[in-house]
A and B are shown apart, each in its own frame.
Chain A
Amino acid sequence: MRDDNQNQKNHDDNGESPGVSRRDFLKISGISVAVPLIAGPRVIKAAGQEVRVYGPGKVPMEFAINGKIYKANLEPRVTLLDALRDEFELTGAKRVCDRAECGACTVLVDDKPVYACAMLAIEAQHKAITTVESLTRDGKLHPIQQAFVDNDASQCGFCTPGFVVACKAFLDKHPHPTPDDIRRGLSGNLCRCGTYAGIRKAIAQVAQKGV
């Protein structure tokens, strides 16, 4: 085993995300390192390059959620979803499958719909995170939310916030969707009560009126 502690030095963050890129991860996973319980990054040498390592203890993190800054000390293994729900009490995104299958945790990251259960919180730092809570402004529902109400597109409502966010992202990209666009574009979210009929009508209502 290589002793990478020799390579440890203070590293200037330069505002760059301390998240681990996929390339970095592949490099790290090829080696094994004895990691002490410290916060903040260490730098190790892997495949001839310097790679920063966080954790496994808690790491200070900072997030931009709905235009506000949130801070927390979290282990790198904590998902964005759990950070939102358990640290910041933004519980609109729901934990259902916890492995990127059902879409109930959908949030926007840099305007793209993302399964928050499948993204580590550490990766989501310094990105613009938008949750369902921000869509209602001054007590006024977003048009897609109003369309969900009008077309009775929620029953138990547990999938609803994820669907609302997914529908918003979909309509932003496809303002005039065909039925086929809708079928394909919203297949990433699941509902158990069976509200799809109402959701389709809600999308049609917004698409007709425009957002």
Chain B
Amino acid sequence: MPDYAWPDAQHRTLIGTRVSRVDAPAKVSGQAKYTYDVHRPGMLYGKVLRCPYAHAKIVSIDTSAAEKIPGVKAVHIVQGRGTIIHWAGDEIVAVAAVDEPTAEDAVRAIKVEYQQLAHLVSDAEPPKGGVQEEGPLSMDALDDMLDNEVPAGQMVSQIQQYGITEKPGEDRLSEFKENGASDAVLDAIRTAAVHPEAASKLPSSYQKAAAQTAGDPEKALAEADVVSEGLYGIPLITHCCLESHGSISEWTDQDHLFTHISTQNVSGIPGQMAEPLKMPATNIRVHQDHIGGGFGSKFSPDRWGIFTAEISKKAGGKPVRIMLERDAELEVAGARPSAYARVKVGATKDGTLVAWQSNSWGTGGPGGGGMPPIPYVFSIPNQRLEHIAIRNNIGPARAWRAPNHPQAAVLTMCALDDLAAKLNMDPVEFFGKNLNLTKQRENTYREELAIASELMDWKQKWHPRGQIASGDLVRGVGLSFHTWGGRGHASDCDLTIHPDGSVDLKLGTQDLGTGTRTCILIVAAETLGIPMNAIQLQIGDTTYPSSGGSGGSTTIGGVSSSTRRAAEDARDALFAKVAPALDTQPDHLECVNGKVSVKGDSSRSLSWKQACSKLGVMPLTVRGKNPDKSKPPDLTNSGVGGVQMAEVEVDTDTGVVKIKKMVAVQDCGLVIDLKTAETQCYGALIMGISYALYEEKVMDPTTGRMLNADMEFYRLAGLSDIPELVVHMMTGKGYDERGVIGLGEPPVISPGAAISNAVANAIGVRAPFLPLTPDRVLAALEQKAGA
């Protein structure tokens, strides 16, 4: 049995080194083709009429004028008369025309009458007494959940937990099915407990979503030497992918659909399109070369992906392109749930954490949303947690890099930092003292904390709160901890060695800009002992072996493991063919520097090309898989730790916060490409600066619409906002042997908390909510002056 294990440090030539991104030349020269760039012959351009109200009923739709406009090829009603719309910007009618201006004219010619309904877009603290205990679900509530695309697993567990208010007939069940209910959801409805008495209660926008107690928090808080109380929060933000969501769909014949789509989930798209389009998944081909950002918002074809295919069919199968406009991208294509909390946390005099109590709330849109994992990283012994989910009309939430973790980091690390300040302790000392509460990550965090402190020059820069230098510009430092899983997902890959020595590698994965292509080639080249450019890699198509969606930092572990196994097996199969020619046994051969040679006797060798010619006429194809228990060891792992520190400068006259320096110390097991791994961390720090200081999806309570659905007022950090950034990857003994672990999520978790803590250190008071805009900083300073 071959040894699939990762080579040790002495036997690596590529893994763990700094390799330049293989698709960078295509990207810098404008040759890389994204979905938005695909131009199919005879392509039509689609536009969408969207609902201007946050909550409304469609009274009538008149598309007759639009249909008469020359050049309009199809008009498709997405949501018809009588439908209740739950967020502004939702799709009502789609049109396809010969060019964009004509499509825009057609959208303008459609008349829709709405009956406006009361809306709620606020995520402010729930009113006392207005909160409803989670209870049995009405048929309308189930419809709403389906409309709002609540994940099937979540629906099933809520149905099982709370029951339903009436037993639906088969007609109602088939309506649910048409509305997108999966078989599991339908089964759950059929077998749910029925509570008719609950039907009379009106649904509230405020739902108790979690209540947990561990230990005796009241007693522990009463006995604590120091208790700190505070309010913390992190608002709704958007994904703001630069390439908006969308697709180009065409029917290659009556039964076959070909879709170019901007997606994090190439292999998973056909299965999601099959049911709504009432066709077999196998008849749907999906292709994507490059994607302009996803960040968690591009796993599904979305409603617009489905109606793009439908409108193409109406237009005789012609290719139709529907990419979201920027305002729609920001309004409907993804938001990170908000989270706020009143936190009470207690410690003994020496800084040992003893108790945590939090009353948290937040919104994930019409679906409500869950409680972030608080207290985060530190398992404080006595806890009481209560969370209220606000169901409102802001539009659906989506996974956003490290779902729920940046929120948990802000709520936890800011509360603990305030406690450290109250104890008059240096946070490095305070957090260091409690690292035993991080359980199995303790040693990692301890090493990282020491390295981060040195890289930040923390000892020189930290000062107790309130002891600030005089003048208008004040500086401070802050830190935060984070963790993530990141185990590799399921991935299949096919590696083919051709008799002429050429090699190709196919897998249905995608490269989000994380370096996936580069890492796959590093692993294959390292294993086969040939240069990376001798291998042709093809990804991003459903005709290739399927590989998981790129979410939750699962891609690198998945694709590197499947590639490693395929390359090992292919190499050994080649050795079996080559061994007779070199008059040796296959297991005495090795593949190094483009040569197949007898181990320890380099005089007996064949060039790679000569060796491959021994295959005869047929190419050799091997399938590699992850996971694959039959081919140990496990090449991927789960669970990383990271520490980040921020240094800020605050202008106390204007409230403007400037980041002066950030340090990220990160573990991710065995690093495949150090260069792209570091880039991932730099990028995460920058994205973190952006959401800590600038980003917020601002909802207008009067109109129910997003006020800043463009890129001028939905502010992203620019080049001039970025300070000195220091990234340190934990590698070597204790890290490498863990196997490959994902890196997409972890480094983006801590920046918000670290920056908020640095600002508190600088100005001597907590500005409770991100983003730390000048008005919020000035309000905090004013409160401090008044106190």
Contacts and interface: CB of A to CB of B under 8 A. Distances in A.
B25 A91 contact: no
Interface string B659-688: 000000000000000011011101111110
A96 B28 contact: no
B30 A91 contact: yes
By size class, the interface of chain B is 35 or more
What DSSP secondary structure best describes chain A's contact surface? loop
A42 interface: no
Among B20, B292, B295, B326, chain A packs the most CB atoms within 10 A around the CB of B292
Interface stretch (A9-17, A21-29, A142-150): A142-150
A196 to B, nearest CB: 4
Interface residues of A, number: 58
Among A93, A152, A191, chain B packs the most CB atoms within 10 A around the CB of A152
B711 A190 contact: yes
A32 interface: no
Contact of B710 (A97, A182, A200): A97
Contact of A154 (B27, B36, B682, B722): B27
B533 to A, nearest CB: 14
B29 A94 contact: no
A158 B36 CA distance: 10
Interface in A73-101: 75, 77-78, 82, 85-86, 89-99, 101
Interface string A162-187: 00100000000000000000111011
A80 to B, nearest CB: 14
Interface stretch (B175-183, B238-246, B471-479): B238-246
A183 B719 CA distance: 6
A196 B722 contact: yes
A141 interface: yes
B683 A157 contact: no
Contacts of A200: 719, 722
A154 B710 contact: no
Interface string B18-62: 001101111111111110110100000100000000000000000
B720 A187 contact: yes
Nearest to B39: A89
A168 to B, nearest CB: 11
Contacts of A152: 20-21, 24, 675-676, 678-679
Contacts of A196: 686, 717-719, 722
Contact of A141 (B25, B325, B682): B25
B69 to A, nearest CB: 12
A125 interface: no
Interface string A17-46: 000000000000000000000000000000
A199 B719 contact: yes
A182 B719 contact: yes
Contacts of A210: none
A148 B32 CA distance: 15
A192 B687 contact: yes
Contacts of A1: none
A159 interface: yes
Contacts of B684: 194
A162 to B, nearest CB: 9
Interface in B266-300: 290-293, 295
Contacts of B37: 85, 91, 94
B293 A194 contact: no
B350 interface: no
29 contacts: A86-B39, A86-B45, A91-B33, A96-B242, A96-B326, A101-B711, A132-B29, A136-B31, A141-B25, A145-B25, A148-B28, A154-B24, A154-B513, A155-B679, A155-B683, A156-B242, A157-B513, A158-B243, A161-B30, A183-B719, A187-B719, A189-B718, A190-B242, A190-B716, A191-B686, A192-B295, A192-B716, A194-B717, A195-B679
Interface of B: 20-21, 23-34, 36-37, 39, 45, 99-101, 240-244, 290-293, 295, 323, 325-326, 512-514, 675-676, 678-680, 682-687, 690, 710-712, 716-720, 722, 725
